[in-house]
Structure 1
């Protein structure tokens, strides 16, 4: 990865205070003469970007498993912000190992109060002047199955994206709560929230989806304050990878249901994920809550208040460790009727969601990698190599009826899906179908039925090429798997030595699409739901007629069926 010199970046935020961040300037290596091997390193005169790290966007809740709170109106910033955010307690992960406990370094960063963000601000080079209204803003939500992940990309990683690649946007990466800390829900927590809301008149009683509420607080902070950092609050793109892309969809959906005066999102980027299915109801979350308590030896016979008191007293290490042992291991979204509309999927199928997008002129960039399954199959794979074990594991993420329909369709008569050798490998393919390959196609088809123009309102892509620097993160035999295209979007993403000069030319077009999309510029795209802009394995670009379209739409129809009007109203 290229080297950068760091220097102080004082920033006057007016009524918000005065802080110091970093300015990152590329270093150059020069040789003293053509006959000498002596070289020296010096800084370029043109900075790549400025960095602000670990800036609070919210204050912690009064109790664990409750919603965070907005910063008070009188909050002022002062001091140096050149570090990173805290890290929500979480399990470890490595694509090279199914079991990878969190490191000591990660544990040192653990905090339930991880409500901070990192920010990169373009440095106005002579050929890249700041627009009069401010830089467009790209809020990136990290991935990690909603169970782990970090916003702490090293400052230098994005310096090339803003400097050499010339993204021309403020990039904001918020930390948010994940796993049980971010998505635990139960009747006990609901009753507590209702009691506190009654005691504090005007407070909204909500339970679950805490990670999504954290993300929304960060977005609201950006909408209110980004102008002080050189950004334009009227041009906010929200994007994410994997679970971050699913989060992006949920943020977009929540935003669209709000009055237009509260809307923040202009464009959305969903890299390798999307809407999924209607999230589970509270009854399913209650089953998971009860299993969690039993695994922690907290008697279910206790009063609701005592259960929560005992749960909040559990050491962080124990609460993270036990999640790996649960049958219902994945903590995910709740159809709560507050953050997640209970008619969300029905509204997508009816065309209402598309109509809301068109009304607010919201556009979406969405796509996939060729071999998503290789990574997906590596996260908490089934305990046994059987059909039932595979189905049970998928049901930890998705409602069981939808999982059963998926498996009956893709595994007829209980047979392995085509091209898989066992149920462990099949799990990765089935997971990838639900997360990416099938449901993103069904989503696009539903948007098209609702009046969105595919090629204008929705841009689709496919990646079949892999940069060499990906070898530092993913086994080469996994091919163009989930996450390898981060080297494209984030200009090497800080892996190994980054992109070679030849590779930069290969990814230049897609990187340019990314930049123009974030800046709100028009992107020339082929019309039609089946047409996908593809980066081939040989590094060439073409238009690909989607070979998986019919299968994907059929899977969507199976797991997200169109409901009759009376049935939809009951959701």
Structure 2
């Protein structure tokens, strides 16, 4: 789609002068301003693979009056498998992806500055990029007048490679560097957004799917720092919920060993030699090795630093709720009706019980996988209502990623007195423009509601659909970003604001809670059992 624009110059004070774009309409009226690919940290390349992001030096300047820094492009895209994304030769991939895109409303900012939405992209933490968002219509046509910051960060093996032997013997190595990247981008936003007209005291962090998963972990980290370092004031967790403590370093070592074997790196070499060899290999070789692996999902590890030991227990014992209450952090979270269709399409298992069990182990700790399959498939038989095991996988994956654990999380917050801080929703309506991306038979599947939250984000809502999106959630989203009271309509904190198939809003009791709490309890017990690492049932 053509995006008519004209240059936009901004003085960032001691950071220098930058040139971005002002997007304009057919009458040359401004829609919004945009800067693309602004570095927030030094490149994580060469010897800095798998190290925490390095801050820009105090003397760093983006440009001068004579030579403004030109940021009219986009963030670098972390190398990734093309299992889901459009095939290409990989020329768009760049390990130097620690940049942000910034969208700014047109017009004068409020005296305190525009509120800020720090938006993390989705993609299972394995793929995706910060460049897919198109905020022109959202910022120009709706009441959502906020600066939107979308960070690039390291994904898959580049962002979440973990190993107990690297932890113990490789100085500089860190786990969860993808999360550390996000945090560094958030800190950069907090420190610099005022130069773009933003209010650093009014930052909402949010995301969809893996972006929502990341939002939870960023919120958890932020709740664990001192008040003087706290950044997050509100959170949007769209279609993802917490409840599983990430794998330990010991379980992550199994994945690391498989990774080495796929690359034909001997396991009996020293940790320093293994790391040195991994540094010599190009990104394409590393990605190709992952595509052969059983443990092919690189996700968070419980490192005791970014991801605290016992983080899920903090939810159960009220620590998480108490800190949210003390900080006054409000949260919108919810789901789509048919999440499982998309979830069942992401690297589906072979058509057998064993295939499903193996596939779950790519994502989750073994104790959790055992507990789940024993509950869902007690006789290792395909459940009624599932056409095959890949279909069963999509449904259990959606339950654990979203439906059940979102409810368990909400229940724990309410039980510990933070119910006034949460706003829950359910989407059962689908806009026609979603047909360009998702099969009609998938219904209101994972991602179809993005056209509501992001006002199309490049797709075109009809006039009638815009009214539905505005009245159901967009007006409330604008209030949320501004820190105002919402017209949510629910009578109980565990109630749900539902957008029905006909496009009407109803506020209802959540009749799906009982099953979700049963699964939440099963996983809580699995954490406590500390089962040995063995892939047999």
The answer to whether the superposition gives a TM-score over 0.5 is yes
Does 1:74 pair with 2:53? no
Count of matched residue pairs: 521
Q: Provide the residue aligned with 1:501 in structure 2.
A: 463
Q: State the Cα deviation string for residues 225-258 of structure 1 (Å, max 9, x = none).
A: 0000000000000000001100000000000011
1:306 deviates by: 1.2
Does 1:401 pair with 2:391? no
Q: Provide the residue aligned with 2:35 in structure 1.
A: 52
Equivalent residues in 2 for 1:241-252, closer than 5 Å: 241-252=208-219
Q: Provide the residue aligned with 1:513 in structure 2.
A: 476
Name whichever of 526-535 and 547-556 sits farther off: 526-535
Q: Give the Cα–Cα distance (whole angstroms) in 2 for the partners of residues 528 and 431 of structure 1.
A: 28
Q: Provide the residue aligned with 1:30 in structure 2.
A: none
Q: Provide the residue aligned with 1:281 in structure 2.
A: 248
1:409 deviates by: 2.1
Q: Provide the residue aligned with 2:82 in structure 1.
A: 92
Q: Would the alpha carbon gap of residues 428 and 563 (structure 1) be closer, same or farther in structure 2, given more than 3 Å must change?
A: closer
CA contact (8 A) 1:246 1:276 kept: no
Q: 2:438 aligns with which of 468, 474, 477?
A: 474
Q: Which runs of 5+ in 2 are unaligned?
A: 64-68, 531-537
Q: Give the Cα–Cα distance (whole angstroms) in 2 for the partners of residues 216 and 397 of structure 1.
A: 23
Does 1:444 pair with 2:431? no
Q: 2:347 aligns with which of 372, 380, 383?
A: 380
Q: Provide the residue aligned with 2:97 in structure 1.
A: 114
Q: Give the Cα–Cα distance (whole angstroms) in 1 for the partners of residues 527 and 380 of structure 2.
A: 28
Which 4+ runs in 1 deviate beyond 6 A? none
Q: Give the Cα–Cα distance (whole angstroms) in 2 for the partners of residues 89 and 228 of structure 1.
A: 31
Equivalent residues in 2 for 1:27-426, closer than 5 Å: 27=26, 42-43=27-28, 45=29, 47-61=30-44, 62-78=47-63, 79-94=69-84, 102-104=87-89, 107-124=90-107, 130-153=109-132, 157-193=134-170, 195-196=171-172, 207-382=174-349, 384-426=350-392
Q: 1:485 aligns with which of 430, 446, 449?
A: 449
Q: Provide the residue aligned with 1:18 in structure 2.
A: 17
1:412 deviates by: 3.2
| Normalised TM-score (structure 2) | 0.94
CA contact (8 A) 1:54 1:81 kept: yes
1:101 deviates by: 7.0
Q: State the Cα deviation string for residues 28-70 of structure 1 (Å, max 9, x = none).
A: xxxxxxxxxxxxxx43x3x111000000001124421111101
Q: Give the Cα–Cα distance (whole angstroms) in 2 for the partners of residues 397 and 174 of structure 1.
A: 24
Q: Give the Cα–Cα distance (whole angstroms) in 1 for the partners of residues 383 and 226 of structure 2.
A: 45
| Normalised TM-score (structure 1) | 0.89
Q: Give the Cα–Cα distance (whole angstroms) in 2 for the partners of residues 55 and 220 of structure 1.
A: 14
Structure 2 counterpart SS, 1:69: coil
Q: Provide the residue aligned with 1:535 in structure 2.
A: 499
Q: State the Cα deviation string for residues 296-321 of structure 1 (Å, max 9, x = none).
A: 11111112111111112222112111
1:471 deviates by: 1.1
CA contact (8 A) 2:411 2:494 kept: no
Q: Give the Cα–Cα distance (whole angstroms) in 2 for the partners of residues 289 and 552 of structure 1.
A: 33
Q: Which runs of 5+ in 1 are unaligned?
A: 28-41, 95-99, 197-205
Name whichever of 84-93 and 370-379 sits farther off: 84-93
Q: State the Cα deviation string for residues 117-166 of structure 1 (Å, max 9, x = none).
A: 10000111xxxx52111000000000100101100126xx2110000113
Q: Give the Cα–Cα distance (whole angstroms) in 1 for the partners of residues 525 and 74 of structure 2.
A: 43
Structure 1 counterpart SS, 2:130: coil
1:274 deviates by: 2.0
Name whichever of 242-251 and 52-61 sits farther off: 52-61
Q: Give the Cα–Cα distance (whole angstroms) in 1 for the partners of residues 384 and 57 of structure 2.
A: 56
Q: Give the Cα–Cα distance (whole angstroms) in 2 for the partners of residues 508 and 292 of structure 1.
A: 47
Q: Provide the residue aligned with 2:428 in structure 1.
A: 464
Structure 1 counterpart SS, 2:48: coil
1:563 deviates by: 7.8
Structure 2 counterpart SS, 1:412: coil
Q: Give the Cα–Cα distance (whole angstroms) in 2 for the partners of residues 192 and 60 of structure 1.
A: 24
Q: State the Cα deviation string for residues 460-482 of structure 1 (Å, max 9, x = none).
A: 00001111111111111111000
CA contact (8 A) 2:209 2:238 kept: yes
Q: 1:556 aligns with which of 503, 512, 520?
A: 520
Q: Would the alpha carbon gap of residues 418 and 512 (structure 1) be closer, same or farther in structure 2, given more than 3 Å must change?
A: farther
Structure 2 counterpart SS, 1:560: helix
Q: Give the Cα–Cα distance (whole angstroms) in 2 for the partners of residues 15 and 300 of structure 1.
A: 49
Q: Give the Cα–Cα distance (whole angstroms) in 2 for the partners of residues 75 and 527 of structure 1.
A: 51
